[in-house]
Amino acid sequence: MNNSLQLSFNCSSKFSDANINQADQTFAPTILHSYVALLTVITPFYIYVFRKNENRDKQTPLFQIPNHFYKTTKFILFAIYTFELAFALTVYKSILTDFCMTIIYLYFSFAFYFLIVITQVNQLLLCMLALQKFAVFFIPSLETHFTLTPKSIKCIRQYSYLSSAQLNQPQRYILWQIVAVVVVKFTYIPLFIFYLGLDINTAVFACNIADLFSTPLIIQLTYLGCNRRNLLTLVHSFKLDNISKIFCCRSARVGVLRDSLNQEASTRY
């Protein structure tokens, strides 16, 4: 922990000593701000869809993991906004007292470390979900070992002949999840090239920051596109009479779509 905090304290000095030109200095922040912009647009719809399906999803296996994602992504987004505000305040450091600047730097250091740990936990849970779906799909006999509720889930392949499966085509949404992860991770390539000449500690820290911004985006995209029910709910939310519900309290939750009652539990995220 001490090493991570020390790395956080020294991060700004490492960037200033790297002899990076002005154009390059704006490259990485542009990518991070793009993540923030996408999160700002997607998060309200993610919250709306999750609240709408929460009662139903509580009956599915491993609901605790998506519920954890829902809570942590909201917290991370709030923390990211405070980072943006604190970063904007540092621009006016000439009019701020040394005490205020010290508080801001301490906040950056401890908050970054705390959020990086949360991000690593989220990545571990994402891996667990991926392994669970892979194992149940190809080895149905392992289904009972992954089920945390009395109701068991069914394999997509086992029910591929049903009309509900033919309508929903769950394999298509699994493919979309993979595409979402790959596309977001491809944005790391410019960062790798950008930090290629820097020391390893700075490069690792930069990748951790990129994970902090991109992991909530991956979670939200994969949840919204993981099955037909969520996509239809997302499309339905764009209607004028539902726009206000996106920002309303939990009492604004409405019923699930009728044509998705037979949606396979193994594709519910």
Does residue 156 lie within any of the structural domains?
Answer: yes
In terms of average pLDDT, the best of 65-74, 129-138, 170-179 is 65-74
Cα separation values, 117 from 1, 112, 209, Å: 10, 9, 11
* Residues 18-40, mean pLDDT to the nearest whole number: 67
Percent of the chain whose pLDDT exceeds 90:
0
Average pLDDT of span 112-127 = 81
Q: Which residue has the higher pLDDT, 17 or 232?
A: 232
Q: Is the pLDDT at 76 greater than 80, yes or no?
A: yes
pLDDT of 118 higher than 60: yes
Sign of CA dihedral 196, 201, 202, 207: positive
pLDDT given for residue 71 in this prediction: 87
Q: Which of 47-56, 161-170, 221-230 has the lowest mean pLDDT?
A: 161-170
Read off the pLDDT band of 214 (50, 70, 90).
Answer: confident
CA-based nearest residue to 128, from 49, 65, 175: 65
Structural domain boundaries, residue 52? 24-260
In a domain, 6, yes or no: no
Residue 62 confidence (pLDDT) above 60 = yes
Rounded mean pLDDT of 45-70?
81
Please give the pLDDT value at position 25.
55
**Number of separate domains in the chain:** 1
pLDDT at 147 over 60: no
- Determine the pLDDT at residue 265: 42
**Averaged pLDDT for residues 107-134:** 78
The answer to whether residue 186 sits within a structural domain is yes
Rounded average pLDDT over 82-93:
76
Greater confidence (216 vs 139) lies with 216
What pLDDT sits at residue 26? 62
**Would you say residue 245 lies in a domain?**
yes
123 in a domain, yes or no? yes
What integer is the mean pLDDT of 131-157? 58
- Secondary structure, 3-state, the chain: CHHHHHHHHHHHHHHHCCCCCHHHHCHHHHHHHHHHHHHHHHHHHHHHHHHHHHHHHCCCCCCHHHHHHHHHHHHHHHHHHHHHHHHHHHHCCCCCCHHHHHHHHHHHHHHHHHHHHHHHHHHHHHHHHHHHHHHHHHCHHHHHHHCCCCCCCCCCHHHCCCHHHHHHCHHHHHHHHHHHHHHHHHCHHHHHHHCCCCCHHHHHHHHHHHHHHHHHHHHHHHHHCCCHHHHHHHHHCCCHHHHHHHCCCHHHCCCCCHHHCCCCHHHCC
| Average of per-residue pLDDT values in the chain | 68
- Work out the pLDDT band at 260, boundaries 50, 70, 90: very low
Q: Looking at the domain assignment, is residue 10 inside a domain? A: no
Is residue 157 situated within a structural domain?
Answer: yes
| Assigned domain for 266 exists | no
